[in-house]
Chains A and B, each alone.
Chain A
Amino acid sequence: MNEILEKLFTCIEFGKINTASPYPPQMRGQEGAMELTKQALEAGIAPSEIMDSALIPAMTRVGQKFTEGQVFVPQMLLSAKAMNAALTHIKPFFLSGEVKRKGTFIIGTVFGDLHDIGKNLVCMMVEGAGWEVVDLGVDASAEKFLAALEEHPGAHIGLSALLTTTMTNMKTIIDKVHETHPEVKFIVGGAPVSAEFAQEIGADGYAADPQDDIKILENFLNA
C-alpha cells in the first residue's frame, strides 16, 4: 500500500485527527487524518482509492476490534472523528459523483424510544464503510421512514430500540413500509432485540453491533 495511505489507515485506527491532536501520544506532532487525506489527493491518489484502501478498511478494523472487545465506544468515536476529518476532503467527490456510495441506509430509533447512542454508532460506522446514511433521529414513526424512502428510493432501513416495550414498534414500521414498498430490506438492532425476534417481525437482518450492520448491508449488495 502507498505510504500515505498506510499512515492514513493508522490515523483512523487510532483516532489521530490532525497534527494538533495530542493523541495518540506516540504520534504526537505527526500529521493526522486531515492532513494525510489532503496530501493523498494532492499526490494524485483517486478519492475512491483513498476510501477503498485506507478509510473503509481502517474503520472496518476498528469495528472488528470493537466486536472483539479490544476497544470500546470512546475509542470507536475517536476513530470516527478522525474519519470525519478525512471525509471533509472526500465529500466534494461524493457530490460530484466521482466517488460512488455503496447505497443509502435510512436509520432511526423507533417511535416511543429516545435512546440514540447505539444508533449514532451505527451511523458513523456505516458511513465509514462507504454508505450514505440518512439519520431520522429518535422517536421515528413509520411515516417518517416512508417520507425518507420517497427521497431515497432503493434505500435499506435500520431500526433501533433499547426498550423491551418499544422494540415491538419495529414490526409496526416494517408492516407499514412493506404495504407500499415490499422490496425494502430492514436491519434491526438494540439491546433487547435478538435474531429470533428479527425473524419473527419480518426483518431481513439482525445486527448485534455496527459491524454486523455493515456485513448485512454488503450481503444485500451481493444478493
Chain B
Amino acid sequence: MSDSVEHTFHTYRFPYGEVLPSLDELARYLHMDEDAEHPAYLYMKERLAELTSSDLEAVGGYAVGAIDGLDLQAGTLTVEGVTFGVGAQVCGYLKEATEAALFLCTAGPLFSDEAHELNAQGDFLEAYIIDAIGSLTVERAMDKIHKALEVEQAKRGMKITNRYSPGYCNWPLRDQRPLFDFVSENPTGIALSESCLMHPIKSVSGVIGIGVKARRRAYGCVICQNKTCIYRRLVQKN
C-alpha cells in the first residue's frame, strides 16, 4: 500500500436537533418510559430541550476503497493495500463486498466532558443520562451516514452491509490506526490515544462493505454470539 494515497472523505454534518434521540426513544432506552415523574425522566426532558436548541453538531463521513483481498481463514480484509485484522466473523459478513467504506463519526466532546464533570461531583444519575444521550446521538448520526451511503451506492447498482467496528466481534482496537491512516484528512477532529481509544469518547469508527451482492443482516443479537452482552439484555427487556 502506498501511504500517500489520499482517499476522499465524504463529510456529513448534522445539527444536534437532527440527531438527538427523542424523549420517548431515550426514555425507552433507559427503561424510564413509564415514570414521567422520576428525576431521571425530568432531567432527560430538560437536557434534550437545551441540547436541541444548541448550535453544536455531529460530524462524520467515510472514505471508500476497493477491496484487494479478504482472507476468511486469517481474518483479514485488505483495502487498497491496507490490511485490517477484522477477524473471521466480520470477514464472513463482508465476503460479498467488493469495496469498503471506512467511516468515522463523532457527537463531539460535550457529552463525555459533561458526564466526567457530573461523575466527579457525585451526580451519577445525571452523568449516566448525558452519557446515554451521547451514545444515541452518535449512533443516530452514523445511521444517517449509513443511509446516505446506501442511497449513493444504489445509484451505482450497489448494495451495502451492516457496519462493523474495531473493539467488537474480535476486531482489535489497534486497527484504529490503519483505519485512521486510510481515512487520512477529515474534519471530525477525532484523535486516537496511545491505546487506540477515540477522543471524543462519543465517536464511532469502522467499515461498511459495498458490493452488488452485499446485504444488510438482521442486526446485533441475531448475529452475535455474546450471550452476556448488556445490549442483548436491553433488547430482551424491550
Cα–Cα distance between A89 and B226 once the two chains are bound (Å): 43
Cβ of B125: which chain A residues have Cβ within 8 Å of it?
74, 77-78, 80-81
Contact yes or no, B128 A73, CB < 8 A? yes
Which A residue's beta carbon lies closest to that of B112? Answer: A114
The reply to whether the CB of A164 lies closer than 8 angstroms to some CB of chain B is yes
Contact yes or no, A25 B37, CB < 8 A? yes
Cβ of A192: which chain B residues have Cβ within 8 Å of it?
226, 228-229
Chain A interface size, as a band, is: 35 or more
9 contacts between A and B (CB under 8 A): A23-B39, A25-B37, A78-B39, A78-B125, A118-B230, A120-B127, A165-B168, A166-B167, A191-B229
Contact yes or no, A74 B30, CB < 8 A? yes
The reply to whether the CB of A48 lies closer than 8 angstroms to some CB of chain B is no
Cβ of B37: which chain A residues have Cβ within 8 Å of it?
22-25
- Least CB distance from A28 to B in Å reads 10
Q: Which 10 A-B pairs have the closest CB atoms?
A: A74-B40, A72-B31, A77-B125, A112-B195, A163-B167, A191-B230, A191-B229, A165-B172, A165-B173, A77-B124
Contact yes or no, B128 A164, CB < 8 A? no
Which residues 139-160 in B have Cβ within 8 Å of A in the complex? Answer: none
Cβ of B229: which chain A residues have Cβ within 8 Å of it?
191-192
Contact of B38 among A74, A139, A162, A163 (CB under 8 A): A74
The reply to whether the CB of A193 lies closer than 8 angstroms to some CB of chain B is yes
- Least CB distance from A74 to B in Å reads 4
As a 0/1 sequence over residues 96 to 129 of chain B, the CB contacts with chain A under 8 angstroms (1 = contact) are 0000000000000000000000010010110111
Contact yes or no, B31 A166, CB < 8 A? no
- Least CB distance from B193 to A in Å reads 8
Known A-B contacts: A113-B197, A162-B230, A191-B229. Give 13 more (CB < 8 A).
Answer: A22-B37, A23-B37, A25-B37, A78-B40, A139-B195, A164-B170, A165-B172, A166-B173, A191-B228, A191-B230, A191-B231, A192-B226, A192-B229
